[in-house]
């Protein structure tokens, strides 16, 4: 179980400050949806979970172990953004391998696992293709393949399907649902589309007035 307990973060501006509060739980194998207006504090939650921001108060626990003190690279977390997940000039296999140690090459075993995962996502013919030549949906599948090779128990999605056509979007949502179940991931999906939540989220929270509430 991933637990976010009374977590808060304050942005301090010259003339004012704004504080965001978060309480939520995500079970292994569960997709939790986070809805909210633009600027309501959704990405801030993901930055706190991934360690790019340090909370002012509260706890993040995975199966009882605090994560808040770990630097980003040591957190058991993978993130998928709306774009800029990949290095365009590198091929699909290299992009997937980057998820392991931040290097474009791996041991023969790692390379073969990367290719197997790409094949499981029907990307085998693109293993050696620069990702700049792939479609938006294919690129997001490469990014998901990297998540799988990393094999971290927490998956954070920040509106990753915005800009994809409806059928690709549906396919990606289905893939996230499947991967979450198969790998027992704790998946937090930020979206501004209620329909995304209806499609795959077990529970839905809404960010409103600086607080996260069960919708
Ligand atoms: P969302 O992802 O829901 O659109 P964010 O979590 O990115 O919202 O941002 C919430 C609010 O936090 C923004 O409206 C802005 O006021 C503030 N904020 C976000 N990032 C920064 C930053 N780097 N510096 C100052 N304020 C920020
Ligand atoms: Mg955002």
Residues 6+ apart with CB under 8 A from 204: 32, 33, 34, 35, 197, 214, 215
Residue closest via CA to ligand 1's atom 6 equals 41
On the question of pLDDT at 6 being above 80, the answer is yes
Q: Where are the domains of the chain?
A: 2-76+152-214, 88-145
On the question of pLDDT at 53 being above 90, the answer is yes
* Average confidence (pLDDT) over 111-131: 94
Indicate which ligand has the atom closest to the C-alpha of 38.
1
Q: What is the pLDDT of residues 141-168, one digit of tens each?
A: 999 999 989 989 999 999 988 888 999 8
Closest atom of ligand 1 to 45 CA is 6
Is 45 a pocket residue for ligand 1 (Cβ < 6 Å)?
no
Residue 43, pLDDT score: 96
Residue 50, pLDDT score: 96
pTM for the predicted model, two decimal places: 0.93
CATH topology of domain 2-76+152-214: Rossmann fold (3.40.50)
d(CA 80, CA 51): 15
d(CA 136, CA 211): 33
Closest atom of ligand 1 to 38 CA is 4
């Amino acid at each position: 179980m991933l637990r976010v307990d009374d977590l808060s973060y304050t942005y301090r501006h010259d003339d004012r400050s704004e504080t965001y509060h978060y309480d939520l739980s995500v079970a292994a194998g569960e997709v939790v949806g986070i809805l909210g207006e633009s600027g309501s504090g959704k990405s801030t939650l993901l930055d706190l979970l991934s360690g790019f921001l340090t909370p002012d108060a509260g706890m993040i626990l995975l199966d009882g172990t605090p994560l808040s003190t770990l630097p980003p690279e040591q957190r058991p977390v993978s993130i998928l953004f709306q774009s800029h997940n990949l290095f365009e000039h590198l091929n699909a296999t290299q992009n997937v391998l980057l998820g392991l140690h931040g290097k474009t090459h791996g041991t023969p075993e790692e390379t073969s696992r990367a290719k197997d995962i790409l094949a499981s996502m029907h990307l085998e013919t693109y293993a050696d293709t620069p990702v700049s030549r792939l479609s938006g949906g294919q690129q997001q599948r490469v990014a998901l393949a990297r998540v799988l090779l990393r094999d971290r128990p927490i998956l954070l999605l920040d509106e990753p399907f915005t800009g994809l056509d409806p059928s690709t979007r549906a396919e990606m949502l289905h893939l996230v649902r499947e991967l979450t179940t198969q790998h027992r991931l704790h998946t937090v999906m930020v979206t501004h589309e209620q329909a995304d939540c209806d499609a795959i989220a077990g529970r839905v929270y809404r960010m409103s007035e600086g607080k996260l509430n069960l919708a």
